[in-house]
Amino acid sequence: MQVGIPKEIASGEKRVAISPDGVTKLKKLGYDVLVESGAGAGANFDDSTYEAKGAQIAPQASDVWSQADVILKVSVPQHNPATNSHEADLLREGQTLIGFLWPAQNGELMQQLTHGKGTVLAMDCIPRISRAQNYDALSTMANIAGYRAVIEASQHFGRFFTGQITAAGKVPPAKVLVIGAGVAGLAAIGTAVGMGAVVRAFDTRPEVREQVQSMNAEFLEVEIEEDGSGQGGYAKVMSKEFIEAEMALFLEQAAEVDIIITTALIPGKPAPKLITEEMVKAMRPGSVVVDLAAEQGGNCACTVPGQVTVAHGVTVVGYTDFPSWMAAQSSTLYSNNLCNLMGALTPDKDGRIVVDMTDEVIRGATVIEQGTITWPPPPPRLSAAPKGAAAAEPVVTPTKKSALSANASAYLNVGILAFLLLAVGYVAPDNFLRQLVTFVLACFLGWQVVWNVTPALHTPLMSVTNAISGIIVIGALVQMHNPSTWAVALAAFAILMATINIAGGFLVTRRMLRMFQR
C-alpha cells in the first residue's frame, strides 16, 4: 500500500504530516510513500530530503489523493482553491484518511466524508489513556503551544522575566499566572520558571497540585473544596459557588501579575470565559494575556481569535496556530505520533492497514468506517479506574451459636500451634530454637513493613524497603564462622544476593528521584 502526504492548504499552516525521518519509519512498516512537492517547505523539509529517505515526489495534490491508499494530514479537510475542490470529496472507497478532524464541531464535514465510503481516523479522538500516549498528538501540540505562549508573552511584555540587581537599579521578576495546569499549562509553567519568572498556577483538578509545586510554581486554591476532574484528563464544569470564588481569585491576581496565560478548555463546549473585561482593566498597563483557547472562542472576554489586540492598555494575544509557528519541531513530533499509530494499524509490518475495532485506541480514533459514522465511541476501559461507592452488602447478624463456634475454632488453632512449638522446643537444640524465634520475628516484621504498604506506592517505596534487606548481610556474616561447610556456602550466597538487592534498590531510588530534579 502507498501512503500519501499532501501539502496543507489551511491558511497559515506550515506543518507537514510526515517528516523525512518519518518516511524511513513508514518504509520499515512496508509502505511506499508519496509526498506532494513542497509539502514540507514550511517546516524547512525540501523535496530532495524526502527523496533521499526513499519517498516519491508527486507534482500536485490530485496525484497524491488519487494514487495513495492512506492519506496522512495535519489540518481538517477543506476546500482547495487551487483545484476548486474540497479535500473531503477526494476521499474514495477503500481509502483511509488520518489527521485532525474535531467531529464534535464539524458535523457537516463528517457527513461529507461519508460519501466517499472511506475510513477516517481522527488524531484528536485518540483516547487519553496510558497505552495511547505515544499516539497522543493533542498533548504533543499542546506542549509546543504552552512553550510558545511564554515566548510570545515575553516578546510583547518588553521587560525582563528574571529579576536583576544592577548598578542602574533593581529589576523585579515578572509575575506569571497560568490558568489550567494540563499539558499546555505545565509546559508554560516550566518555560516561565526557566526564564526566571515568579509563576503561579490554578487548576480545578486537585491532583495537579504536586506537579505544579514540583516545578517551583505556586499552586493557587479557593476555599471551596470541589473536584474538577472530568473524563479524559480534562476539567469539568464547576458549581456556581466554585466559579464565583474562582472569579474573585482571578480578579485579585489580575491586579498583581504581569502576564496571564489561559489554557482552559472543556471538550465539546466553547471555551469558558475566565478573564472578564473587568479583570483586564485591573491589570497594569503593559501587561499581557495569552489566550491558548482562542480557537474555541477564548478564555478572555477581550480575545479576538487569530489576532493581537490591545484592550485597556493590556496586550491580548489570540493566535490560534502556535504549533505552526514552530513548524519543524511540531512536524517532527506529530510525524512520530502518526508513525506510532501506523505501527499499531500495521501489526504484521506488511504495508497493509488493519483497523481493529476491538482495540479501544483504534476504535476511539475511528470516526468513520467505510462510509459509516462510528463516532462517538464507547468510553475507554480505564486500567486504574477510581473505586466508586461500593454497593452495600447485606448485613448478616451472627447467631450466638455461630459466634461460639468461631471462637472455639480460633482457640483450637492457637492451641495446636502452641503444642507444635512446645514439641519442637523440647526436642530441638538450643541453637536451633533461638534461630527459629529470630526467623518468626523477622517474618512478622517483614509482613508489617512490606505487606501493609499501599499497592499504589509499591513502585517508589519497594526500592527502599528492599534496601532494608541489608539485615540479611549481617545475619549471613554471623554464620560465616559456622564449622559446617554448607552453612558457610549458604551464608556466602545470601551475602551475594542481598548485596545485589541493596545496590539495585538504591539505584532504582536514585533514578526515580532524578525524575523530579531539574
Rounded CA gap, 16 and 42, in Å?
A: 8
Of the residues 56, 85, 209, 234, only one is catalytic, namely 234
For residue 336, the tally of other CB atoms under 10 A from its CB is 19
Collapsing DSSP to helix, strand or coil, 273 comes out as: coil
Cell of 256: 498583581
Concerning whether 111 is annotated as a catalytic residue, the answer is: no
Of the residues 2, 46, 128, 370, only one is catalytic, namely 128
Of the residues 111, 133, 155, 214, only one is catalytic, namely 133
Rounded CA gap, 1 and 90, in Å?
A: 18
Rounded CA gap, 170 and 159, in Å?
A: 13
Concerning whether 130 is annotated as a catalytic residue, the answer is: no
| Cα-to-chain-centroid distance, residue 440 | 45
Q: What is the CA radius of gyration of the chain?
A: 31
Of the residues 19, 75, 95, 139, only one is catalytic, namely 139
Collapsing DSSP to helix, strand or coil, 105 comes out as: coil
CA distances from 507 to 463, 464, 512 (A): 8, 10, 9
Concerning whether 234 is annotated as a catalytic residue, the answer is: yes
Of the residues 32, 69, 124, 136, only one is catalytic, namely 136
253, 259, 260, 261 alpha-carbon torsion, rounded to 10°: -150
Q: How many residues does the chain have?
A: 518
Concerning whether 514 is annotated as a catalytic residue, the answer is: no
User: Based on the number of CB atoms within 10 Å of its own CB, is 314 exposed (0-12), middle (13-18) or buried (19 or more)?
Assistant: buried
Please name the amino acid found at residue 378.
P
- Strand-strand pairing, 218-220 and 198-202: parallel
Rounded CA gap, 107 and 408, in Å?
A: 71
Rounded CA gap, 327 and 473, in Å?
A: 57
* Residue 340 backbone dihedrals phi, psi, to 5 degrees: -65, -40
Concerning whether 63 is annotated as a catalytic residue, the answer is: no
Catalytic residues: 128, 133, 136, 139, 234
